Amino acid sequence: MTDAASSPTPASTALAATSSPATPRSDNPFLVESPLPYRLPPFAEIREKHFEPAFEQGMLEQRREVAAILADPAPPSFASVLEPLERSGRLLARVADVFFSLSSTDATETLTELEERLAPVLAAHHDAILLDAELYARIAAVRDAANAPSAADRAALDPEQRYLVERHWIEMTVAGAGLDEAEKDELRALNAELSTLTTRFEKDLLADTNDLAVHVTDPAELAGLGGGELSAAAEAAAARGLEGWLVTLVLPTGHPWLASLEHRPTRQRLMAASRSRGARGGAHDTRATVLRIARLRARRAELLGFANHAAAVTADETAGSPEAVAAMLEPLARVAARNARAEQQELDALNATEAGDPETLEAADWAFWSERVRRERYAVDTAALRPWFEAERVLQDGVFFAASRLYGVSFTERPDLRGYHPEVRVFEVREEDGTPVGLYLLDLYTRDSKRGGAWMNSLVSAAELLGEPTAVVVNNLNVPRPAPGSPTLLTFDEVSTLFHEFGHALHGLFARVRYPHLAGTNVYRDFVEFPSQVNEMWMLWPEVLENYARHYETGEPIDPEVVERIRASETWGEGFATSEYLAAALLDQAWHRLSPAEAEAVTSVEEFEAVALARVGLDNPAVPPRYASSYFAHAFSGGYDAGYYSYIWSEVLDADTVEWFRENGGLRRENGDRFRRLVLGVGGSKDPREAYREFRGRDAEPAPLLRRRGLD
């Protein structure tokens, strides 16, 4: 998943840097609950100097809180162990939620250096709790009492309390709480080094991504781009003091502008820059970091009693094992590769006849000629649709409109509330009867200080135990900012991404639980993408589309026939799209299914990738992985290690749910209320497989996904 803002502002406008000593307690805004509505962090008061002392104090307080649990002479019970554990670490959570939001969205040199210093310290702090043998024993005792064979002896816990006990016990078990002290010492060292390496990977990737932006001075080299794209590229160049245009890179291998660029050498430059990130030598090369991370994760898994890191990760996911992941993904890979080869034959012919180019189609050419097929066969030019996707209309009359119709909520902008950066907008969310739901923050535009991609994170999660009845969530995208006075016109994919990320936001806003450990989107990683993927359906839902897709100059609605042609064209290109995704997902699995000895034997990232992709039949040079290892942030810094399969795993549920909505009348309030009550609203308070069965009346069926992707 960059470009500077149209009016470049120093980091001091968001968080003022300082070299002054640690702030006294009375001056640090983190050390008290925020007085702002919905407990929105007081960004106007927060300075970089506040973070380190707040982290130190937060860790100290949580250690004291856990020590008090262990000193309690009473027999272990839910009230004496789990409730105080859930209450612990509130200061640490407050500062961490803000800090890590900022380090990924508005990173400064000071924040980046602090993150590197803090990574091993925080890892050690969390290990001290997760690996504490006495705490583990007390939680196990509570679990045993909850599962006593005799009803008379069984502890009286409600379903959410039972599930919370089980989650803590499983997480501590998988983390290594049952190891002996010597093994725990090694585990702590591994975790500390891994935390440093993943932070370094993210920092180096951001720096190399910025350095590799493609600078163009001849307008002929950007032929095919629209006015909005040219405006954004000119603005990006001006922000860096350059003449001409600057095409900044996105996180995936393929850049969205490749579909429009007519000048083949520019396409080749852009693809080469994208694919060389982290793999061209120098200070920001990530390959040695990738190898070290893979080796450390393999050793850690072995220490924990697992065959490999993928086995350790999937043991606490709905998949259950890497074998289950392979059983689903590898057959799909064969079909996807076959479909991609069929698409490639058409594109090769088009490339040869229309461009007069005898050369074999390259990865840089695929999107351009694929878009040509879409235009000629289906009369669809997604690039030409941008005038109908003006960002504000998409947000207000599309994204918000669908949520209001489905869930009865309203969105009101709050200019009196400040986000962490001047570009961040704050919206208040309320129920139909005016009951507060929370705040939604939107950070739409790319900038050099923001990492690539799109994501959602929470600043406040609703948890009854802590007296937090509402949530504060953030969506981040990386849309190029046009020049002042020009409209922000989104690509088709950017509209889809906004609907997707807003699905995560709704999940975070609607979850209502008692305990913070189960709050918001704290669900299995291979389930968390499900609600967001479901929300994508409303992008092309007729009554939603006709409400927002209007030409930004004339107000003319999008032609319904165009929409029908878009639907007819949906399976075109799915061979490529599924192949590039599965190539990344299976590459992630390949790295993380290595034993320690196998990981030590890998000395070349490129050779390992080539072998791994050839084994599953996804080694087509014209269809590179969506992410190669050297810039695979999901796998090496983003928390999706051995879990990138989650998107298609969740898509089985998503496609099945879309069919349910269609069968039941679509965008109807009663449908939204059911989905909210049984899926979004439960957060992580129950097994998501159980939640899905309750919602759907059965387990998900894979047939809708296969039809959607043209794999049936």
Asked whether 437 and 510 are in contact (CB, 8 A), the reply is yes
List the Cα angle 592/595/597 in 5-degree steps: 130
Cα 609 versus chain centre, distance: 23
Of these residues, 160, 202, 317, 501, which one is catalytic?
501
Report in angstroms the alpha-carbon separations of 399 from 239, 425, 539, 689, 691: 30, 15, 8, 27, 25
Helix axes 109-130, 159-175, angle to 10 degrees: 100
Asked whether 280 and 247 are in contact (CB, 8 A), the reply is no
Largest CA distance in the chain: 83
Which helix (DSSP H) or strand (DSSP E) does residue 460 occupy?
strand 455-460
Report in angstroms the alpha-carbon separations of 709 from 341, 349, 623: 15, 24, 17
Question: How far is Cα 567 from Cα 561, in angstroms, rounded to an integer?
Answer: 10
First to last CA, the chain: 29
Question: How far is Cα 389 from Cα 403, in angstroms, rounded to an integer?
Answer: 18
Cβ-Cβ contacts under 8 Å for 489 (sequence gap 6 or more): 226, 228, 386, 387, 389, 390, 391, 482, 552
The answer to whether 580 is a known catalytic residue is: no
Asked whether 163 and 524 are in contact (CB, 8 A), the reply is no
Question: How far is Cα 257 from Cα 167, in angstroms, rounded to an integer?
Answer: 44
Rg of the Cα trace of the chain? 25
Helix axes 322-354, 646-663, angle to 10 degrees: 80
Question: How far is Cα 684 from Cα 515, in angstroms, rounded to an integer?
Answer: 10
Asked whether 487 and 552 are in contact (CB, 8 A), the reply is yes
Question: How far is Cα 299 from Cα 303, in angstroms, rounded to an integer?
Answer: 6
Residue 40's SS3 state is coil
Question: How far is Cα 337 from Cα 167, in angstroms, rounded to an integer?
Answer: 39
Structure tokens at 544: 């939603």
- Residue 299 identity: R
Structure tokens at 480: 């190029």
If 0-12 CB within 10 Å is exposed, 13-18 middle and 19+ buried, where does residue 193 land?
middle
- Residue 353 identity: T
Question: How far is Cα 609 from Cα 143, in angstroms, rounded to an integer?
Answer: 44
> Looking at the annotation, which residues are catalytic?
501
